[in-house]
């Protein structure tokens, strides 16, 4: 038995999975105590006993107020909790219970586990990543590493049956990973070159997954039942859970059959409804098109067309639906690669990554296959951040605070950037910096992550004294911050001070899902300040502690849009001076490149 284990965990919204690398360097899924490879991410509280998995899901019908489902959609939100028998449970608590179940089952088979790699959606914010890490620690792990789910899928593809054991991939491939899970949609464009897997761009939707297809069918059946019998099955928690289970099974059946039936019963009434695949697809088409819109937007914003994509790789349980695969095939003009297990590939990819992190330890010496050790030790993975990172700063031309991002989204990790800021009053002795991430969508407000404070600045500093601040995303997209007063050299390097109230509510599911999850929501105590999401254009009085952003090139204050007017004017003058007069005689357009034709075909198809 190995003394050190490479363990990967796919902590999913609806189902979770744990795997490890065996002595031959192969990922092996570890079944739970019931012998199942997948464990429902469902928790039931029965007095002092905590039940996780299928048994909890079965009891969701008879004891819906004691069962919690789909909690991953709320992780990172401190306002979300469930009350069960007057006990308060947070999303981190629920995730920890699920992880404990997986780890306990694995330890029965392979021995003690002290560290693991846990997967997260690429769109997860720093707060959500920290919450996932905390759940791992509460489950008993001493070290927790994080990897984005699409990256894990790409590693599984590269190191799995297509790469490690049979034949090498082509020297270079661009892989579009389309990951539609139970609760989230993840999308990444991954570049594979020999010995390196790097993410070029990432996108997705944290509120879009298989349960949304379920919700659409559940709503349609409930409305028809209401018309038939003048009662709504969603009005009763038990009736709704019975219907939801029927809907889930019907969705699975429609993956392999053109039609199926489901039973709805409530208030003494019962009726069997026939559901046809093409009608289900028509009903849920808006959900599918949301994933397509995200896909096209990611390609467009990063100036890629389908000609630049070599492989379309699907994973995630919901990607099995025929409507998903046929639409992607139609859109991309190529056959999809469905070689990965939709349910286990994420955990297997995380396990490969765990092996990559352990290749310099005793683990590598324990693997019998020298080829497996060589490939694991030589392969590198590079991801990107899904969100911009910066600070709230004082606008030079307006007395308001605005987000100023110094690390844009889709920057290769690890990444760091330094920005110079200026004090705003004479003799300023303290600088307070609020660290913010952009929302997961362009329309979302920024998320305040916490603060970094530089105290006891030298006395008698003039207004505009420079403070150089460095922000870092580590390889797992977790945030670090440091700062230095340029004139005195005084440094302030700190772990980010996180205020649990500094979180945006817009990243999480609306309250109308609380019935489905069994959630009961309490309002925060009146005396507790509720600082939710930041407004799109934060306004109001600005403290003297808040610095103003300065141009790193010329030292002039930046405008509200983060640009330097002085440098912009200088660049414009330089461009005008070097511009050559236009050639009026020649109207012949520049010759097209082959890549231009590919782009044109892409945009014609999109339109």
| Domain CATH for 13 | 3.30.420.40
Query: Is residue 256 situated within a structural domain?
Result: no
Q: Give the mean model confidence (pLDDT) for residues 377-398.
A: 80
pLDDT of 376: 78
Same domain, 475 and 357: no
Same domain, 183 and 312: yes
Percent of the chain with pLDDT over 70: 77
pLDDT of 582 higher than 70: no
pLDDT of 432: 77
Query: Is residue 249 situated within a structural domain?
Result: no
Query: Is residue 122 situated within a structural domain?
Result: yes
pLDDT of 194 higher than 80: no
C-beta separation of 131 from 92 below 8 A: yes
Query: Is residue 428 situated within a structural domain?
Result: yes
Same domain, 29 and 176: yes
Query: Is residue 596 situated within a structural domain?
Result: no
Query: Is residue 580 situated within a structural domain?
Result: no
331: number of CA atoms within 13 Å, CB side?
23
pLDDT of 530: 36
Query: Is residue 584 situated within a structural domain?
Result: no
- Range in 88-102, 149-163, 327-341, 590-604 the model is least confident about: 590-604
Closest to 559 (Cα-Cα) out of 397, 385, 443, 327: 397
Domain total of the chain: 2
Same domain, 461 and 558: yes
pLDDT of 587: 47
Q: Give the mean model confidence (pLDDT) for residues 272-279.
A: 96
Using 50, 70 and 90 to split pLDDT, how confident is the model at 86? very high
* Residue span of the structural domain in which 531 resides: 389-572
Where does a domain end: 334, 354, 382?
Answer: 382
pLDDT of 514: 36
- Taking the CB of residue 443, how many other CB atoms lie within 10 A of it? 8
Same domain, 352 and 416: no
pLDDT of 32: 97
pLDDT of 330 higher than 80: yes
- Range in 109-113, 172-176, 420-424, 518-522 the model is least confident about: 518-522
pTM for this model (two decimals): 0.80
| Domain CATH for 529 | 2.60.34.10
Query: Is residue 236 situated within a structural domain?
Result: no
pLDDT in tens, 343-356: 999 999 999 999 88
CA dihedral 392, 395, 401, 406 (to 10 degrees): -20
Same domain, 344 and 426: no
pLDDT in tens, 456-474: 677 787 887 888 888 898 8
Between 67 and 449, whose confidence is greater? 67
C-beta separation of 118 from 145 below 8 A: yes
pLDDT in tens, 423-450: 778 888 777 778 888 877 666 788 888 8
Distance from C-alpha of 99 to C-alpha of 133, rounded to nearest angstrom: 11
pLDDT in tens, 4-35: 789 999 999 999 999 999 888 889 999 999 99
pLDDT of 511: 34
Q: How far is CA 22 from CA 109, 159, 370, 377, in A?
A: 12, 14, 13, 16
pLDDT of 481: 82
Where does a domain end: 328, 362, 382?
Answer: 382
Which H or E run includes 255? none
202: number of CA atoms within 13 Å, CB side?
30
Same domain, 179 and 302: yes
Which H or E run includes 153? helix 149-159
pLDDT of 495 higher than 50: no
Same domain, 373 and 451: no
Q: Give the mean model confidence (pLDDT) for residues 478-500.
A: 69
Same domain, 490 and 558: yes
Same domain, 75 and 42: yes
pLDDT of 428: 80
Percent of the chain with pLDDT over 90: 51
Between 160 and 142, whose confidence is greater? 142
Distance from C-alpha of 123 to C-alpha of 435, rounded to nearest angstrom: 18
């Amino acid at each position: 038995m190995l003394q050190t284990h490479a363990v990967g965990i796919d902590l999913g919204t609806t189902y979770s999975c744990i795997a490890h690398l065996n002595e031959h360097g192969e990922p092996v899924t570890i079944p739970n105590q019931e012998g199942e490879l997948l464990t429902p991410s469902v928790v039931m509280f029965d007095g002092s006993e905590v039940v996780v998995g299928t048994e909890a899901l079965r009891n969701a019908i008879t004891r819906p107020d004691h069962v919690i489902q789909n909690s991953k959609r709320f992780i990172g939100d401190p306002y979300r909790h469930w009350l069960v028998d007057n006990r308060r449970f947070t999303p981190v608590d629920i995730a920890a219970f699920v992880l404990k179940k997986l780890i306990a089952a694995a330890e029965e088979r392979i021995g003690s586990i002290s560290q693991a790699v846990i997967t997260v959606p690429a769109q997860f914010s720093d707060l959500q990543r920290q919450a996932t890490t905390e759940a791992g620690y509460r489950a008993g792990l001493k070290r927790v590493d994080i990897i984005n789910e699409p990256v894990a899928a790409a590693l599984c593809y590269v190191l799995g049956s297509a790469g490690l054991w049979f034949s090498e991939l082509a020297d270079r491939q661009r892989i579009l990973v389309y990951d539609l899970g139970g609760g989230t949609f993840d999308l990444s464009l991954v570049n594979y070159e020999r010995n390196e897997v790097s993410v070029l761009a990432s996108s997705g939707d944290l509120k879009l997954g298989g349960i949304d297809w379920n919700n659409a069918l559940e709503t349609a059946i409930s409305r028809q039942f209401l018309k038939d019998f003048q009662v709504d099955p969603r009005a009763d928690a038990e009736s709704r859970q019975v219907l939801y289970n029927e809907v889930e099974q019907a969705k699975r059946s429609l993956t392999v059959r053109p039609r199926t039936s489901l039973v709805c019963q409530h208030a003494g009434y019962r009726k069997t409804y026939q559901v046809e695949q093409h009608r289900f697809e028509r009903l849920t088409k808006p959900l599918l098109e949301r994933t397509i819109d995200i896909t096209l937007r990611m390609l467009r914003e990063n100036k890629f067309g389908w000609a630049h994509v070599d492989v379309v790789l699907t994973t995630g349980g919901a990607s099995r639906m025929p409507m998903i695969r046929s639409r992607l095939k139609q859109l991309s003009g190529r056959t999809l690669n469905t070689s990965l297990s939709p349910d286990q590939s994420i955990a297997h990819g995380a396990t490969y990554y765990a092996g990559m992190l352990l290749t310099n330890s005793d683990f590598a010496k324990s693997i019998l296959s020298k080829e497996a050790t060589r490939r694991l030790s030589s392969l590198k993975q590079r991801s990107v951040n899904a969100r911009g990172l910066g600070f709230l700063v004082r606008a030079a031309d307006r007395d308001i605070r605005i987000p100023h991002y110094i690390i844009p989204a889709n920057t290769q990790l690890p990444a760091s950037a330094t920005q110079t800021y200026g004090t705003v009053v004479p003799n300023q002795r303290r600088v307070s910096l609020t660290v913010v991430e952009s929302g997961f969508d362009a329309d979302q407000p920024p998320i305040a992550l916490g603060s970094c404070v530089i105290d006891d600045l030298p006395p008698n500093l003039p207004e505009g004294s420079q403070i150089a601040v460095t922000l870092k995303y580590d390889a797992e997209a977790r945030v670090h911050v440091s700062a230095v007063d340029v004139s005195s050299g005084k440094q302030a390097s700190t772990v980010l001070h996180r205020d649990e109230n500094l979180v945006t509510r817009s990243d999480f599911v609306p309250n109308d899902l609380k019935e489905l999850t069994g959630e009961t929501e309490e309002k925060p105590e009146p005396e507790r300040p509720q600082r939710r999401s930041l407004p799109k254009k934060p306004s109001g009085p600005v403290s003297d502690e808040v610095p103003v952003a300065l141009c790193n090139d010329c030292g002039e204050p930046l405008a509200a849009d983060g640009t330097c007017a002085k440098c912009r004017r200088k660049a414009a003058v330089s461009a005008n001076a070097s511009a050559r007069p236009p050639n009026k005689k020649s109207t012949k357009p520049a010759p097209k490149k082959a890549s231009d034709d590919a782009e044109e075909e892409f945009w014609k198809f999109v339109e």
